[in-house]
Amino acid sequence: MKNKLKLMKQDSVITALNVALVFLVIVLLITILTVRTTYKEMTSDNYDELSFSYAIEDQAYYTLLDKYYYNLTTTGKENPEFQEYYGVAKYYEAASLYKAYDTVGNTEKALYYQNKMQDYEKDMGDWSMTKPGILKSLGLEE
Amino acid sequence: MKCESCGGNLSLEDVVCPHCDALNEHAVQHIRDMNKYRREFQGTQKEVQEVARNHSGIMVRVVAVCILIVLIVVGFILNKELYSIHGDMIERKAIKNAEQNMEMLDRYIEEGDYSAFNVFFSYTGVNTYSGPYEKYNRLRSATMHYANIYGSIMRLKKVDEYGTRETILKSIGDDMSYFYRFFQKDDFYYVEESDWQYPYICDIEDRIKALLITYMGVTREDVQNFREMTNAERNLVIEESYLDEE
Q: Tell me: the pLDDT tens digits for B207-219?
A: 999 999 999 999 9
- Confidence label for B190 from pLDDT (cuts 50, 70 and 90): very high
**Any idea which of A40-54, A95-109, B125-139 has the lowest mean pLDDT?**
A40-54
At A83 the pLDDT is: 85
Strand segments (E) across A1-142: none
Closest chain B residue to the Cα of A90, Cα to Cα = B113
| Position with higher pLDDT, A66 vs B224 | B224
Q: Determine contact, residues B164/B74, Cβ cutoff 8 Å.
A: no
| Position with higher pLDDT, A65 vs A28 | A28
Q: Tell me: the pLDDT tens digits for A59-72?
A: 888 888 888 888 87
At A66 the pLDDT is: 81
CA B118 to CA A65: how far, in whole Å? 12
Instruction: Answer yes or no: do B75 and A93 touch at CB < 8 A.
Output: no
Instruction: Answer yes or no: do B211 and A100 touch at CB < 8 A.
Output: yes
| Assembly ipTM | 0.77
CA B57 to CA B236: how far, in whole Å? 76
Cβ neighbour number for residue B224 with a 10 Å cutoff = 10
Cβ neighbour number for residue B163 with a 10 Å cutoff = 15
Residues 6+ apart with CB under 8 A from A9: none
Closest chain A residue to the Cα of B215, Cα to Cα = A100
Q: Answer yes or no: is pLDDT of A101 > 60.
A: yes
How close A20 gets to chain B, by Cα (Å)? 7
At B215 the pLDDT is: 92
Q: Answer yes or no: is pLDDT of B176 > 90.
A: yes
Cβ pairs A/B, distance under 8 A:
122
- Confidence label for B9 from pLDDT (cuts 50, 70 and 90): confident
Residues 68-107 in A contacting B (C-alpha not used; CB under 8 Å): 69-70, 72-74, 93, 96-97, 99-101, 103-104, 106
Instruction: Answer yes or no: do B115 and A24 touch at CB < 8 A.
Output: no
Q: Answer yes or no: is pLDDT of B111 > 60.
A: yes
Tell me whether residue B237 is exposed, middle or buried, using C-beta atoms within 10 angstroms of its C-beta: 0 to 12, 13 to 18, 19 or more.
buried
Q: Answer yes or no: is pLDDT of B128 > 90.
A: no
Global pTM reads: 0.75
